[in-house]
Amino acid sequence: MNTTNNNQSQTLTSPLLERLGEALLTIKNLHANINGKEILKGLDLTVRPGEIHAIMGPNGAGKSTLASVLTGNPAFEVTHGSVTFQGKDLLELAPEQRANEGIFLSFQYPVEIPGVSMVNFMRTAINEQRKYRGLDQISATDFLRLMREKKELVEMDNKLANRSVNEGFSGGEKKRNEIFQMAMLDPSLSILDETDSGLDIDALRIVANGVNKLKRPNNASIVITHYQRLLDYIIPDFVHVLYDGKIVKSGTKDLAFELEERGYDWIKQEVEEAP
Amino acid sequence: METIKNVSVSEASFSGRLEGFEQQYIDLYKQYHEQIKQHSAPVMNVSRNASFGLFEQLGFPTSKLENYKYTDLKESLSGEYGLNLNRLKIPVNPYEVFKCDVPGIHSYLYFVVNDGFYPVNDARNETLPEGVIIGSLSKMAEVHPELIENYYGKLSCTKKDGLVAFNGAFAQDGFFMYVPQNVQLDRPVQLINIMRSDVDFMANSHNLIILGKGAKAQLLVCDHTVDDVRFLSNRVTEVFVGENATYEHYKLENTHTRTTNLSTLLIDQQASSNVLGNIITLHNGVTRNTIEIDIDGENCETLLCGMVIADKKQQVDNFTSIIHNQPNSNSRELFKYVLDDLSKGGFTGKLYVARDAQKTSAFQTNRNILLNKSAKMRTKPQLEIYADDVKCSHGATIGQLDETAKFYMQSRGIPEKEARLLLMYAFTGDVIENIRIDALQDRMKLLVEKRLRGELSKCEGCVICQ
Ligand SMILES: Nc1ncnc2c1ncn2[C@@H]1O[C@H](COP(=O)(O)OP(=O)(O)OP(=O)(O)O)[C@@H](O)[C@H]1O
Ligand SMILES: [Mg+2]
């Protein structure tokens, strides 16, 4: 078991990963279950400020599970390993604390909340974040200005912002709404779980632009996707392959092209042939 | 671990009556019926003995009865309650001490203290629109007997219901409102029922509301308790809504946990009339609301909404019944419950569509959230449809708070407690939307939020309560 893990981390400690500076997020040997079934089986990943990491991998590999575990979804149980975020033990924190520490997840399947207006939802979220950081509540005018600014950034229809959270939104509208929320909350680590799927070409460009405009030297993103195309817009520093609960291969954006061309079989084979 | 007393009660209750508790009231009536009549109005006494006879026959209802399946009055009826049959003055001036106003509502404000209409403060010097009469039912029955005798008891006297019969025997007064033809009340009318006593106390009151053709009125009924003793109130309200008239009835209960609140609201709708009922239980002990709306004319609109927030050992049973006797009317029902701890909720949605009531459309929804495993909800649609060209539907759900929605909110930094609150608040939102008095709607939003936060155990702003 240990040897396997060492082999994994050898793949990871490629020269690419050996950058200077403090890590924003460090995941070590992470194991997680759902309903008693192990999904993450010893996952390692390090993300430094300013980096964009793409995670690819076959259906059911555990990509969304990783996102859920990082954001503290109570359906998942962490059995082994550690996650450090900005020097703090992330696994000790409640979901809302993680969010207020600066983690944001753009859900693969955003949730509809009938009866809770977008405005009320966003105002509550912003104020909770401010409270967490010891700031006063946002003023009505500042809040409206912020909403307007961020709506423009993702070119979101005004009508959507006046409705209940995601209620009756189309698939694409929901994804755009995720990026809008991300823009509002300005996270230091954003995790985008298949934000590109379900978006038309224009929307994809708008959403990717939004993400790029939010990029800063001190924040980072993990972009989960099935399609190399997104990576034309959001250019990753690293591409990882998540397979069977582990990161089994890491590389540059060229790896994404290779996957697009060759699929995952060769990776699966490599994994199976490994000692 | 039932007490001996309760065992004997449940043995006796196969007949659908609570034998053990009835006798003292039967004896009381036999002994004091002259006094009861003497301190009431002749119009109200006409049917009194008949009501008593009916009560002797029916007794208090038990959960063995189909219509009372979800109401358990054993606990409530045990023990002794004082009654004020001789109409002694209660030493409280609600106008001075009870400031339970909804900011900005500008209502015409009236009080029933226990079972009697409290005289209107002369100093108020408020003039009602021309022809409108509001006051004590027994007083007005003496001043305008010809008006009241055509209506009093017309909906209630024939009801085969032990509580209604009991009310018919014991009620001596209540609230009366008459809005003549084509008169529209410019402001809402507010009736506050206050329970005030130093000993365990029972109140029976009877309200009568008459809207002439094309009249319009909004009534807000608030139920409050003041003292920390056991209260039992048994109130019957009859409402006659004339042709083309519009009537809104809001009932807001905010009583303490030692209260049993039994209320029967009977509404008769004539052609082209519009009725909204919104029955909100924010805080209570044991509550039974019976609401029956008879649609006796064509082209009527009926919307009956309700909401319950209950925790601890609170019980709320809303028994509703909408009866379409005539064609071409629409009715809609919407009830929502949020139940926590050991609370119990009951909902019955009876819908009757007579053979001639073609083109009826009737929709019924009851949705419930149980916040934990020990809370209980029982819901029952009861549809009897004899017409063939109708659109009717009903739906009931009992569930928990949406965990995925809660996590989604938390993932945006909203603490779990706050997320739960937002979800519960959203859940009740459509009932609150159906309050057509803006000031009341705003107030309710605030009160519901406070209630959900656990910050409200008695009425906000009541000087008396604090
Ligand atoms: N509630 C659950 N109960 C049991 N198994 C689950 C549950 N949720 C997820 N799984 C399983 O966990 C595994 C990983 O799922 P996950 O959603 O993380 O995959 P993914 O890599 O995101 O896939 P995709 O590319 O299809 O989104 C799958 O086999 C899935 O069936
Ligand atoms: Mg996924």
* Extents of the domains making up chain B: 5-296+435-453
Decide: A34 in ligand 1 pocket, CB within 6 A: yes
Report the sign of the C-alpha dihedral through residues B157, B159, B161, B163, in that order. negative
Decide: A36 in ligand 1 pocket, CB within 6 A: no
Interface of A with B in 185-214 (CB under 8 A): 185
Which atom, in ligand 1's list, is nearest to the CA of A57? Answer: 21
Q: What is the pLDDT of residues A192-240, one digit of tens each?
A: 999 998 888 888 998 898 889 888 999 999 999 999 999 999 999 999 9
Of residues B413, B422, B425, nearest to A132 (C-beta) = B413
Amino acid at B352: Y
User: Can you tell me the distance from the alpha carbon of B4 to that of B83, in angstroms, rounded to the nearest whole number?
Assistant: 26
Of residues B403, B419, B429, nearest to A115 (C-beta) = B429
What is the B103 CA–ligand 2 centroid distance (Å)? 51
Q: What is the pLDDT of residues B124-156, one digit of tens each?
A: 768 899 999 999 999 999 999 999 999 999 999
Question: Does residue A47 contact residue A189 with C-beta atoms inside 8 Å?
Answer: yes
For residue B403, the chain A residues in CB contact (below 8 A) are 74
By DSSP bridging, strand A37-47 and strand A25-34 are antiparallel
User: Can you tell me the distance from the alpha carbon of A96 to that of A102, in angstroms, rounded to the nearest whole number?
Assistant: 10
What is the A62 CA–ligand 2 centroid distance (Å)? 7
Domains in chain A (CATH in brackets) are 15-273 (3.40.50.300)
Question: Does residue B378 contact residue B366 with C-beta atoms inside 8 Å?
Answer: no
CA distance B265 to chain A (A): 30
Write phi, then psi, for B324 (nearest 5 degrees). -90, 105
Decide: A64 in ligand 1 pocket, CB within 6 A: yes
Residues written for chain A: 275
Q: What is the pLDDT of residues A63-89, one digit of tens each?
A: 999 999 999 999 999 999 999 999 999
DSSP for residue B181: T
Among all bound ligands, the one having the nearest atom to the CA of A226 is 1
CA distance B76 to chain A (A): 37
Residue B97: its pLDDT value, please? 66
Decide: A62 in ligand 1 pocket, CB within 6 A: yes
pLDDT band of B458, cuts 50, 70, 90:
low
For residue A185, the chain B residues in CB contact (below 8 A) are 412-413
User: Can you tell me the distance from the alpha carbon of B75 to that of A83, in angstroms, rounded to the nearest whole number?
Assistant: 56
Residue A1: its pLDDT value, please? 35
A142 touching B (Cβ < 8 Å): no
Mutation target among A70, A96, A128, A174 for the B interface, most CBs of B within 10 A: A96
Among all bound ligands, the one having the nearest atom to the CA of A243 is 1
Write phi, then psi, for B432 (nearest 5 degrees). -65, -35
A250 touching B (Cβ < 8 Å): no
Beta-carbon contacts of residue B90 (< 8 Å; ≥ 6 apart): B84, B113, B114, B116, B196, B197
Of residues B409, B411, B418, nearest to A105 (C-beta) = B411
Binned average pLDDT, 10 residues per bin, chain A of 275 residues: 39 45 92 97 96 96 98 97 96 98 97 95 98 97 96 90 94 93 96 92 88 91 94 94 96 93 91 82
| Rg of chain B on CA atoms, in Å | 21
